[in-house]
A and B are shown apart, each in its own frame.
Chain A
Amino acid sequence: MFHEISRQRPAPSRQPSALRAEDHNLCGIPQAKNYGLIQSLWIIAFWFLMSPTITLAQPSLAASSNQVQDRVVKIYGAGGVGGLDAYQSGFIVSPTGHVATAWSSVLDVDPIVILGDGRRFESKIVGFEPELELAVLKIDAADLPFFEVPKSSDQESKGRWGDPVLAVSNLFNIATGNEPASVLQGRIAARSQLDARRGTFQTAYRGEVWLVDLVANNPGAAGGALVDLRGNLIGMLGKELRDRKTGVWLNYAIPADVLRGPIGDIIAGRKTVLPSTDEPLLARDDSHSPGSLGTGLIPDVLELTPVYIDTITPNSPASRSELRPDDLVLLVNGRRVAHQRDFRDQLRRIDRRDNVILTIQRENEILEADLRP
């Protein structure tokens, strides 16, 4: 019934006059000043809607869709690792250039962000919440249009099952440059915990999600915006997720109220995962190192070798913690270490007598290991 709203190329935002005229024609209502007439037509329209006959009017969602286009961005990574796609979507969450997106391998190197108007920026990863599959990028820009990330107590924008929603993303990398993102419409199907049966879904996220009744989660859609018809952000589109047991694909978004706290903290600078450079480099004998922790890493043969644990030394801080071979180290004391050079560099800034907290990924789980010297 509401099918044709997914416009490939909507008119530029802020110029909706042409679309408005079209909408009037769709509704069969001329540009009338007689509001009484409009009201009575509306009554008729709703009667048609509720009666079993075909509806007369189909209000357009052009305005709903246009107002969010300038806040959705395209994100590109280094490309093509292991056949994975090197593109995804994101959305702007501060006027000063913070971009929220889904954490994925696209972000292994500092990604490129392309705004809705076609401007292109290099970005830094400033925020990283592995358990939410959330990353926040920062680009060097100002006065950008942005989404307010709503609180959970904010009923107005929380959304409920049954509500109409738009999923705005660059799925399949259809759009490039300043081409608008793709808009898909549907409804919130449910709000639910992901099925927690072990290994069912390959994701670290364990909280509640919005399930949607549209095929929103396709390659490139991750990090896109799920919005209500007023243009309020209600969630971030997740990565493609498939039930390993049944093979069924899941279409979901991580609710905005869940993302609000972490995004707020990152924007306010209360939390950052940027590798620390404020702390001084200590003498090798005074600082930590992979060896001092009792971790042997996989051979560092690449420029950006990921921090995979290969061996654990007996009777070491690592052996006394939960750390195991094949764990991937993501954060050191909350700071992101993208590769082994970063890892060594960060450890050089920590006193050998201090504890080190490693955030690691083990298959689908995100765990913290507290390494005590």
Chain B
Amino acid sequence: MMFPTTNAARVSLVALSLLISQSTTSGEELPRSIAYQQAVAERIREIADRVLPSIVSVETIGVLQSDGEVRQDAPTTGIVIDVSGLVLASSWVSRSEAASIIVTTAGGQRFPAKIVGRDEHRELVLLKIDPKDAPVQPLELSGATVTPPIGSTMVAIGRYGEANVPIISSGVLSAVDRLDGTAIQSDVRISPTFYGGPLLDLNGNVCGILIPAVGENGADDPTAWYDSGIAFAVPTDVIAAKIERLKNGETIRAGLMGLVVGGSDPYAPGTTISTIRKRSPADRAGLQSGDELVRVADRKVRRRQEIKLALGRFDAGDEVELEVRRGDEIKIVSATLVETIEPLRPQAIGVRLDGLKVTAVLKNSPADGVVEIGDELKRLDDVDIEDAASLRQRLWASDPDTPLKLNVLRSGDKKEELSITPQAIGGKWTQWSFDTLAVSNSDHWNASELRLPDVVNSAWLWSPAVATDPKTESTDDAVGGTMVNSSTSLLVILLPPSQRDVQAKLEAWKDEAKFQNVAICLIASEEDQKWQLSEIDAVSKLTTAAIKQSAADVNAVSLASASIIEMAKQVDNKRSTDDGNPADSMALAVSLSTDNLFQGVAIPDSTQPPAIRLRRDAPMRLLRILMTTSTDDDLPPWSETLTRIGCPIQTIGAVDREDLLTWCRSLLFL
């Protein structure tokens, strides 16, 4: 939106500067700086005066808090965009149920407003007031608005207080394409008062609408960054394109595609799709695992992170064109994004692999009697199996009770086509028989303390002595080809904060761990009162070191809270577990906050859910949860969240060390 008088304004500014410089030929510096600054100030007021008739304040009244108290919020800002009384505001006004929303116009008149539409993807709401005969002056949000270059001076405008006075702040445009491509960023110093107000450039163009938001993983409160020189605004052209949907009363949400790109590092090159979610937009568009993404809409993509950025701007209902390479072929498909993708119900068949060769089959598992030891797995449902990791992902995402076609190479050269119906991982944990399991032939097990720079937590590892030089073997070897001690699992155990003598605690585990070939890593908290979320990183680092030192299979690393064992023993002591143990919450927090470092976590059902934010862009989770339940088998209500993010919950009445280690070994099986 360009104001017609812009050029005139420029001319008058130049005239002003001429005047100033003529009057200050004495060489004084001061007036020149003042002239410059005052000229900008005049310009800001000029720009503000033009839009201010359309700027309103929006107040929510009677917001009920969770504690039953009625809260009163400070007013924020809105923009009249239509003579009929449509007002665009930020999600601040809709974030909790309010008895009333009041819009105060530029003229000071107050009108009740109702919410017409919401853009939950961009933190905007569309309100409607009935201005009756009162004149309202709408501001046109043009779809042709161009975001100015980064560094351009920007002005934020709002209304403040009961007198509804104009309030401004100036800064520069800091960045574009923020918040997954939905927002621009400026260092205008805004308080929450400005939310819903316009962000303009010095030509008077409304470049965006300010919203409450923080960067990903930035803070729990969307207003937390208000004074930090970081403000976000939704670009005007995007709003213009969405406004009709909001007028029609729609709720706009982020769009999901339903494809998973493999690899644990989102910044590593590679865009090969490892999993397609069934009945997802990607599935309906005909994409297959193994396809390599080349382009998402108008952007070339080379890394997983770039796919996320390219997809982030689209809403549910948007159609997105994708270009993929399948073998030598280039395919262009179109997918319509959806709001939600039904959660995974992870499946397994019960085989253990060395490379792609079957080394063990669990009794009574789907593979029992179908797959034979020595079979080499080639194709699943007519798509080549790349490696064990991608097979695990595909099984994880397969449909319940639906037979899969499995092509194998038997006895070296015989091609067999098998049909196998996988079994859901969740539910009561049935101990598939482990008769066929080969136990480690290493008799030498060592206990050693793990010491890492920057980690103060005390940690001890009980693991088989590795014959080969540990330096020459990386953990990557364990994923694919030849493995040393391929059947070693790793169990990381978080001790309750009160337990400080880690080495002594290790004793009780040694015999059973060695017998079952599960390496044990015990970690104590930093302080003797609590586990802190800031220790997630330390636990993660110690685990990585433990994997390396024990040469454990990276697909069979699990985490447990020590109390899961203690509880079984202390039932007699009638110890109250209502409060939960800090190590329980910590175990859950660590397993959910790391990218598939752990494939299993064992916690009691008395665990207090930790205060962590689940990342939206996390790679497909391959985390199963073993939860001890009291006699009634009821899971705590918060565990639904785990199911919703696709983590299967296996339940068990109570566990002793033997059960827990057996469960750890079960992770070796796909």
Contacts and interface: CB of A to CB of B under 8 A. Distances in A.
A261 interface: no
Contacts of B162: 193, 195-196
A63 B29 contact: yes
A211 B163 CA distance: 14
Contacts of B201: 52
Interface stretch (A139-147, A157-165, A170-178, A299-307): A157-165
A170 B9 CA distance: 39
A249 B169 contact: no
Interface string A38-51: 11001101110110
A192 interface: yes
B607 to A, nearest CB: 31
Contacts of B203: 50, 52
A186 B155 CA distance: 12
B268 interface: no
A315 interface: no
Interface stretch (A53-61, A275-283, A323-331): A53-61
B72 interface: yes
A61 B33 contact: yes
Interface in A169-221: 186-187, 189-197, 200, 211, 213-215
Q: Which of B13, B30, B151, B190 has the most CB of A within 10 A?
A: B30
A102 to B, nearest CB: 20
Interface string B36-68: 111111111100100000000000000000000
A46 B43 CA distance: 12
- B interface bracket (residues with beta carbon within 8 Å of A): 35 or more
Interface in A1-30: 1-2, 16, 20, 23
A187 B163 contact: no
B161 A195 contact: yes
B576 interface: no
Nearest to A164: B37
A29 to B, nearest CB: 10
Contacts of A45: 17, 36
Contact of B30 (A64, A163, A245): A64
Interface string B1-42: 000000001100110011001100100011011101111111
Contacts of B226: 248
A195 B74 contact: yes
- A interface bracket (residues with beta carbon within 8 Å of B): 35 or more
A309 B189 CA distance: 43
A284 interface: no
B192 interface: yes
A47 B39 CA distance: 12
A330 B596 CA distance: 64
Interface in B186-213: 188-193, 201-203
B160 interface: yes
Contacts of A160: 41, 45
A249 B227 contact: yes
A197 B167 contact: no
A64 B190 CA distance: 25
B51 to A, nearest CB: 13
A16 B167 contact: no
B161 A194 contact: yes
A213 B169 contact: yes
A162 B39 contact: no
Interface in B206-246: 223, 226-227
B149 interface: yes
A23 B169 contact: no
A229 interface: yes
A25 to B, nearest CB: 13
A363 interface: no
Contacts of B165: 161, 190-192
Given A39-B21, A54-B149, A162 B73 contact: no
A248 B21 CA distance: 42
Given A59-B32, A197-B72, A248 B191 contact: yes
B170 A187 contact: yes
Q: Which of B22, B33, B151, B163 has the most CB of A within 10 A?
A: B33
A45 B32 CA distance: 12
A16 B10 contact: no
Contacts of B168: 161-162, 187, 189-190, 213
A229 B34 contact: yes
A162 B17 contact: no
Contacts of B227: 215, 249
Contacts of B149: 52-54
A238 B37 CA distance: 25
A67 B22 CA distance: 23
Interface string B146-172: 001101110000001111011111111
Given A248-B226, A249-B227, A162 B172 contact: no
B193 to A, nearest CB: 8
A49 B152 CA distance: 9
Given A20-B29, A162-B45, A38 B37 contact: no
A35 B29 contact: no
B44 A187 contact: yes
A153 interface: no
A135 B153 CA distance: 39
A59 B72 contact: no
Nearest to A50: B10
B569 interface: no
Interface string A228-260: 011000000000000101101110000000000
B189 A186 contact: yes
Interface in B80-99: none
A20 B188 CA distance: 29
A189 B167 contact: yes
B167 A43 contact: no
Q: Which of A42, A162, A246 has the most CB of B within 10 A?
A: A162
A35 B25 CA distance: 7
Q: Which of A160, A190, A195, A230 has the most CB of B within 10 A?
A: A190
9 contacts: A35-B25, A46-B13, A46-B36, A49-B153, A52-B149, A63-B29, A211-B160, A211-B167, A213-B168
Given A52-B148, A52-B201, A192-B161, 14 more contacts: A23-B29, A39-B22, A43-B17, A46-B14, A49-B153, A50-B10, A50-B43, A63-B33, A64-B33, A161-B166, A164-B40, A193-B163, A213-B169, A245-B73
Enumerate the 8 nearest inter-chain pairs by beta-carbon distance, A residue then B residue, closest first: A213-B169, A190-B167, A164-B37, A59-B33, A162-B44, A192-B161, A162-B45, A59-B36
